[in-house]
């Protein structure tokens, strides 16, 4: 039974991480639409992040007012970062997925939200140059590699 739980956990983590790759593919297919949808993608990132934190704190039965105050403080701190916020959020999401694994419903929901978070994140970060095809591919794979800390954190915590 423990081996099956480990397989399910690893598969959920990998599928959640696959959202980044889907976001890059979406950005490649819809290059023109990205220009107009940039602010909507940024809003979607914030909404999904708030929902993940809200679900995590609700899982620990934190009072609603404290939950909302924490989310506001979290966004106030994260807005001060000088590097892409997702570099910090993905390892945090890895820890959150580990904490949510106890309850199947919350685990599946948070894993799905992390998957959905990858769409706008990768779409906003990806760049495609018509003249330099290989440079674009390497730049976009860098996005995937920079966020690999999600897999590292979620699997290392699970194995410890």
CA distance 34 to 119: 12
Q: Is residue 6 part of a domain?
A: no
The per-residue pLDDT for 134 is: 63
- The count of structural domains within the chain is 1
User: Does residue 115 sit within a domain?
Assistant: yes
| Most confident of the ranges 18-27, 58-67, 82-91 | 18-27
- Expressed as residue numbers, the domain containing 31 is 16-159
Is pLDDT above 60 for 1?
no
Who's near 150: CB < 8 A, 6+ residues apart? Answer: 13, 16, 17, 90, 91, 93, 94, 114
User: Within 10 Å of residue 157's Cβ, how many Cβ atoms?
Assistant: 14
pLDDT confidence of residue 65 = 81
Of 106, 85, 107, residue with least CA distance to 12: 107
Q: Count CB-CB contacts under 10 A for residue 113.
A: 21
pLDDT, the chain, mean = 85
Does some domain include residue 125? yes
At residue 46, does pLDDT exceed 70?
yes
The confidence score (pLDDT) of residue 131 equals: 66
Distances (CA, A) of 25 to 15, 48, 70, 81, 116: 15, 20, 34, 27, 14
In a domain, 124, yes or no: yes
- pLDDT band for position 42 (cuts 50, 70, 90): confident
10 in a domain, yes or no? no
Tens digits of residue pLDDT in 133-144: 666 777 788 888
Distance of CA 91 to the CA centre of its chain: 9
- Asked if the structure places residue 130 within a domain, the reply is yes
Inside any domain, residue 8? no
pLDDT digits (tens, 9 = 90+) for 16-34: 999 999 998 888 888 888 8
Asked, for residue 49, whether it belongs to a domain, the answer is yes
Q: What pLDDT is recorded for position 133?
A: 67
d(CA 134, CA 34): 21
């Amino acid at each position: 039974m423990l081996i099956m739980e480990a397989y399910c956990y690893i598969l959920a983590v990998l599928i959640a991480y696959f959202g980044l790759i889907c976001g890059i593919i979406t950005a490649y297919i819809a290059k023109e639409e990205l220009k107009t949808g940039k602010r909507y993608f940024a809003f979607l990132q914030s909404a999904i992040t708030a929902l993940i934190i809200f679900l995590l704190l609700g899982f620990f039965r934190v009072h609603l007012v404290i939950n909302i105050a924490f989310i506001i403080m979290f966004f106030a701190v994260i807005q001060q970062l000088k590097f892409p916020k997702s570099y910090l959020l993905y390892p945090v999401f890895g820890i959150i997925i580990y904490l949510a694994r106890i309850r199947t419903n919350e685990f599946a929901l948070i894993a799905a939200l992390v998957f959905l978070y990858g769409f706008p994140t990768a779409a906003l970060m990806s760049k495609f140059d018509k003249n330099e095809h290989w440079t674009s591919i390497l730049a976009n794979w860098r996005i995937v590699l920079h966020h690999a800390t999600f897999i590292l954190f979620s699997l290392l915590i699970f194995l410890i």
